[in-house]
Amino acid sequence: MTNGEMSNDEGMTKSESRNVSAGLRHWNNRISFVLCHSCFVISSAFHSLAYAAGRLFVRILFACVARVHVLRRENGDRVGGFLLAANHISHFDPFLISLVVRRKIDWMTMAEFFRPRVLGFLLHAIDAFPAERDRADRKTIRTAISRLKDGRVVGLFPEGGIRDGLRSVLEGAPLRPGAATLAHIAGVPILPCVILGSDRLYSKRRWLPFRGTPIWIAFGTAISHFPELQRSEARERIESELAAAFKTLYAELREKFRLTTDDLPHPSQERTGSCRASAPFAMSDADNRSGYSTIARYSLRSFASTTVDSLLCASINVLHSRHRLNGRSREEMERYVVQCERLIPHEYYAASHDADLAKAFKEGRATIAWSSPIRTRFAENDVARAEFFPCPQGISTPTVFLLHALMSASRVGYRRCASRFNQLGWNACFVHLPYHFSRVPRGYWNGELAITCDLIRNAEALRQSVVELRQLMIALRERGGREFGVLATSYGGWIGALLATMEPDLRFVALMAPIVNIDHAIWASPAARLIRRELRRANIEPSLVARHFHLSSPLHCQPRCDPARILFVTGEFDSIAPAEQIAAIQRKWRGSELLRVRQGHFGYRMMRETIARLKERGDL
């Protein structure tokens, strides 16, 4: 045996040992490949079986309660990968669309639905995948593109949530960006789909056997991804053709099936009967089991709400009687307005980083205090303060700002509300607005100085509020927070509306009985009788005050965030923020939603119905 063939302890030469090692590696690779392939096959089989089982269950469930009419079903069964884009009017849409498309659809689903473990497991089992509603999630984008390139069907709702009326793409509301970009990058077409009638299933009566609620679904012609165009040009072209296709299919369904107004999309409250805002006498006497006629019940509630509002307006006017303007008020107001006319909102409400605020969040304090950047002549009011209620998931989760009403009596209700948001996976931040709670100067009532005949102080209080909220958002972004919501009432709703004109990345803005038309609030509101008397005595006319509206009146501004994220809530019997004023700004902020509630300006029913509507919209 030569030196090059020295044997090892087993009597095997080095060359033989190398051959054996190479052979083992080869078999290991083959075994690994077989195992991986087997796992893939098993996983695919599991997802296919889960989808088939779910589809069978849904078919049996809807067979007795719905009759589905389909136009061009064959378009939904095209071969190859494609993106299925549909309008969204109810939570039943993906199930009904999946029933009429023979191919398996991987639905892009809101991430919130994956948080409950059981529901998350079921969604993963049918190959649904999570998507963040208001920000681009790279993992979601990669998943969608990978599946499309593998020849699969990916379903999504480009409106970003359930939409009806002017908020719907069917009525011309803008599409959310993303669908066109996905199609162009993946190199697949988009198939438009319109569904109508599914919102009727929110009514319990529609689930009685053999009611046969009609559902209408139409598929359009696939839209090319335009590979010959640049990305921006292709995206614009796809979005334009997709929006046009939605309108065409909508018109086709209405004409072919002679649909009535009741067949078209309605808010879920109207379908369930929980909100009869636009039809005060909608309940028939036959359905009224209380013994009172519908008109009597409506009149009684209107009288009670008006009485409560009148008493509270009287108490506010009594407090206003403590405040007077001086002989220089006209000149001071003129100087202030001249200075403000030179400013645009972003200059007037400019916010900067605050080191004390950032430190408070870093240390995890429950009550956060920092020096307000807007100084007043009251030291107590110059210390901004907020109570932070973190959810167990951490500070990087979405945060809702709770903005209270003028002269709000107690913080207890807002703390309970914060606890409910914590349970839904949201942080909550209860903000002490200027001249309220911890910021009340000695000798004054809670909120007394926020609104008086001193219009300059009123405007600066609004400015303080918006700037401090923006500072909070800056500090939360530094700690990883990316999503924000606003739940605001009355005076807080005024501030929340102004914040919506400044911040683009608000996930929802729920404004309950907000003060939106400042011209009406000053010169017509029953809560401002003594304010008007003092202004007229000081020769401060409406035209002078109106010169500040571009900074302080939401009705005279436009939102910077997506209007579809804004929910206006009005009381039918409200005399302070009348329903017609709220309806006017809802029409101007095209795409926003209006919810009507049977109460006056003051009451607790509005909060319950607002949170319920936010859940239905998928905002929570």
pLDDT in tens, 374-390: 999 999 999 999 999 99
For residues 317-338, average pLDDT: 92
Per-residue pLDDT of 540-558, as tens digits, reads 999 999 999 999 999 999 9
In this structure, of 94-103, 181-190, 254-263, 348-357, the range with the lowest mean pLDDT score is 254-263
36-50 pLDDT, tens digit each: 444 545 667 778 888
Residue 177 has pLDDT above 90, yes or no: no
Q: What are the beta bridge partners of residue 154?
A: 83, 106
Query: Among 120, 129, 123, which Cα is nearest to 148's?
Result: 129
How many CB atoms neighbour CB 399 within 10 A?
Answer: 25
User: For residues 348 and 336, is the Cβ–Cβ distance under 8 A?
Assistant: no
Is pLDDT of 251 > 50?
Answer: yes
SS3 of 191, please? strand
Q: pLDDT higher for 360 or 462? A: 462
Cα–Cα distances (Å) from 49 to 79, 99, 239, 523, in that order, read 21, 15, 35, 67
pLDDT exceeds cutoff 80 at 202: yes
The beta strands (E) that lie in 392-515 are given as: 399-403, 427-432, 484-489, 506-512
Residue 124, both tokens: 């993963």
Q: What's the chain's average pLDDT?
A: 86
pLDDT attached to residue 1: 43
pLDDT in tens, 409-449: 778 888 889 999 999 999 999 999 999 999 999 999 999 99
Indicate the pLDDT class of residue 12, thresholds 50, 70 and 90. Answer: low
Phi, psi of 91 (to 5 degrees): -75, -10
| C-alpha pair distances (Å), 302 with each of 399, 420, 567, 574 | 36, 30, 23, 9
Structure tokens at 557: 């501004």
More confident residue, 269 or 593: 593
pLDDT at residue 331 greater than cutoff 90: yes
Output b/e per residue, 37-62; b: 16+ Cβ within 10 A.
eeeeeeeeeebeebbeebbeebeeeb
**Helix (H/G/I), strand (E/B), else coil: 118:** helix
pLDDT on residue 35: 46
**What is the rounded (10 degree) CA torsion for 166, 171, 176, 179?**
160
Whether the predicted model's global pTM rises above the 0.75 cut? no
pLDDT at 363: 87
Which run of H or of E encompasses 549?
helix 549-552
Query: In this structure, are strands 383-389 and 367-371 parallel, antiparallel, or unpaired?
Result: antiparallel
CB distance 493 to 407 below 8 Å: no
Q: Which residue has the higher pLDDT, 223 or 23?
A: 223
Block residue for tokens 């969040």: 361
Q: Is the separation of the CB atoms in 484 and 476 below 8 Å? A: yes
In terms of C-beta distances under 8 Å and separation of at least 24 residues, what long-range contacts does 49-54 make, across chains too?
Answer: 50/122, 50/125, 50/126, 51/104, 51/125, 51/126, 51/127, 54/122, 54/125, 54/126
CB-based contact 497:519 (threshold 8 Å): no
Tokens of 457: 């102080």
Examine the pLDDT at 277 and tell me if it is beyond 80.
no
Q: Are 299 and 232 a contacting pair, CB within 8 Å?
A: no
**pLDDT range class, residue 596, cuts 50, 70, 90:** very high
- CA–CA distance, 108 with 146 (Å, rounded to integer): 13
Confidence at residue 43, expressed as pLDDT on a 0 to 100 scale: 66
The answer to whether residues 598 and 572 touch, using CB atoms and an 8 Å cutoff, is yes
Residue 31 Cα to chain centre, angstroms: 50
Strands (E), 319-470: 367-371, 383-389, 399-403, 427-432
Give which of 266, 112, 117, 143 is closest to 198, Cα–Cα.
266
For the record, the structure tokens of 327 come out as 């002989």
Question: 499 to each of 336, 420, 508, how far by Cα in Å?
Answer: 22, 23, 12
**Residue 312 in contact with residue 602, Cβ under 8 Å?**
yes
Q: Which domains does the chain have, with CATH numbers?
A: 49-272 (3.40.1130), 296-617 (3.40.50.1820)
> Where residue 6 falls among pLDDT bands split at 50, 70, 90?
very low
Q: How many CA atoms lie within 13 A of 70 on its CB side?
A: 17
User: If you average pLDDT over residues 138-159, what whole number do you get?
Assistant: 93
